[in-house]
Amino acid sequence: MYQRWIISSLSILLSIVVAACSNVATSQPQQVATTPTAPQQLAQRVVALTPLSADIIYRLDQNKLVGIAGSSVLNEDSRFQDITSVAQGRTQPNLEKIVALKPDLVIGASGFSDSTLKRLQELKISTLATKIDSWKALEELTTSLAVRIGASPKPLLDKYQQLLGQDTNTNKNTSTLVLVSRQPILTPNKNSWAGDMLNQFQIKNIAADLQGKSPFGGYVTLSPEKILEANPESIILVNTPGSSEQEMIDGFKKETFWQKLEATKNNRVYVFDYLGLVNPGSIDAIEKAAQKLQKVT
């Protein structure tokens, strides 16, 4: 069981790395790589190397999406079954497959797709590097992609606002701690997608302003002593891929601090999937996370 938890923790850490590298438009200067040839032309054939960008393009204009990078998110979605896959999982995309699709725009993940995008730029193919760490970045990416393919972003932007407008959580001052990994104990601060999600739903993230030496941007490591000192009223656990909710909870129950927390004493422990909360993943995943956040008290 101990070895299984080590593997699970490594899995969620890798997911965080990919989430941090893979998905967009940031509040910092947008990382856009385009060729000098006709940057104003509307893209007609788009290859999306992240699940979220593929989902957004499909919803904006499904006829423009000609290639995707296969993932658990897209493989289980019937909308993408007939769209050419140029990669699978965390493997680097097949450059020849991308070029064969004759794309006029390839969307990749900043940090993860850099080498592929650089090669495509050398081939005079327009590219866009993306990174998402906030709700604002999601809106900016949607607008940017809509402009690039000549579609209206309004339906999706309206949907985003609807998700935020459905908030029924009336206890906004409840102190909450999000735990995305047990070994080490990691929690998101305000500079992450998860941290911004909590902020959007006015949930008090006790780690929002914490800074640390974690190698994962937007996340900090916590000691059991720090958690006991903070003593959150609510806890959100992020379910590790490959494990069940009960396994996640049982793992934390082994920690000496667990039963001493106000959140556990009052049965205010919530389990979330990492897609939607840690990694945006897709619009459906974001919507599910948003609906669950409304119930955190």
- Mean pLDDT confidence for 47-69: 97
Q: What is the pLDDT of residue 10?
A: 39
Q: Are residues 127 and 187 in the same domain?
A: no
* Domain identity same for 44 and 160: yes
pLDDT band at 214; cut points 50, 70, 90: low
pLDDT at 170: 53
CATH number, residue 179: 3.40.50.1980
Query: By three-state DSSP, how is residue 287 classified?
Result: helix
**Cα–Cα distance for residue pair 27/296, rounded to 1 Å:** 27
Last residue of a domain, one of 164, 180, 199: 164
**pLDDT for the residue 11:** 47
In the block, residue with structure tokens 């699978």: 88
CB 164 within 8 A of CB 203: no
Give the model confidence (pLDDT) of 225-257 as tens digits: 999 999 999 999 998 777 788 888 889 999 999
Do 139 and 68 share a structural domain? Answer: yes
From the list 260, 242, 237, 244, the residue with the least C-alpha distance to 187 is 237
What pLDDT shows up at residue 172? Answer: 65
CA 162, CA 158: separation in Å to the nearest integer? Answer: 6
What was the pLDDT predicted at 29? 31
Q: Are the CB atoms for 181 and 9 separated by under 8 Å?
A: yes
Radius of gyration of the chain measured on its C-alpha atoms: 20
Q: Which of 135-149, 160-174, 177-191, 257-271 has the lowest mean pLDDT?
A: 160-174
Q: Are 277 and 238 in contact (CB under 8 A)?
A: yes
**In whole angstroms, what is the distance from residue 216 CA to residue 180 CA?**
12
Whether 141 and 155 map to the same domain: the answer is yes
Structural domain range at position 140:
22-164
Query: Which pLDDT does position 88 carry in this prediction?
Result: 80
pLDDT of residue 169: 53
Look at residue 33 in the predicted model and tell me its pLDDT.
35
Q: Specify the pTM.
A: 0.85
> Do 210 and 181 have their domain in common?
yes
- The pair of three-digit structure tokens given for residue 261, joined into one six-digit string: 């927390």
- pLDDT of 36 reads 34
Q: Looking at the structure, tell me whether residues 12 and 66 fall in a common domain.
A: no
Last residue of a domain, one of 164, 187, 218: 164
Tell whether omega for the bond before 271 is within 30 degrees of 0, i.e. cis.
no
pLDDT cut 70: percent of the chain above it? 83
Residues 33, 157, single domain; the answer is yes
Q: How many residues are present in the chain?
A: 297
Do 158 and 46 have their domain in common? yes
- Let me know: does 128 contact 148? Beta carbons within 8 Å: yes
Edge-to-edge strands of the sheet including 105-109? 84-88, 65-70, 46-48, 105-109, 127-130
Pairing of strands 46-48, 105-109: parallel
| Tokens representing residue 224 in the block | 């059991």
Judge whether residue 211 has pLDDT over 50: yes
Q: Each residue of 100-156: pLDDT tens digit?
A: 999 999 999 888 888 999 999 999 999 999 999 999 999 999 999 999 999 999 999
The model's confidence at residue 207, banded by pLDDT at 50, 70 and 90, is very high
Percent of the chain with pLDDT over 90: 67
**Domains identified in the chain, total number:** 2
How far are the Cα atoms of 139, 162, 276, 291 from residue 166, in angstroms, in the given order? 18, 6, 17, 8
Domain-ending residue, one of 117, 141, 164: 164
13 and 78 co-located in one domain: no
Residue 166's pLDDT is 61
In this model, does residue 34 exceed pLDDT 50? no
Strand 269-273 to strand 234-239: parallel, antiparallel, or no bridges (unpaired)?
A: parallel
Are residues 196 and 158 both part of a single domain?
no
Same domain, 31 and 146: yes
Residue with tokens 């379910």: 239
Q: Would you state the pLDDT for residue 216?
A: 73
Do the beta carbons of residue 3 and residue 234 sit within 8 Å? no
Give the pLDDT of residue 110: 87
Do residue 172 and residue 285 come from a single domain?
A: yes
* Among the listed residues 106, 134, 146, 234, the one whose alpha carbon sits nearest the alpha carbon of residue 194: 134
SS3 84: strand
pLDDT at 90: 75
pLDDT tens string 60-91: 999 999 999 988 889 889 999 999 999 887 78
Q: Is the pLDDT of residue 37 over 70?
A: no
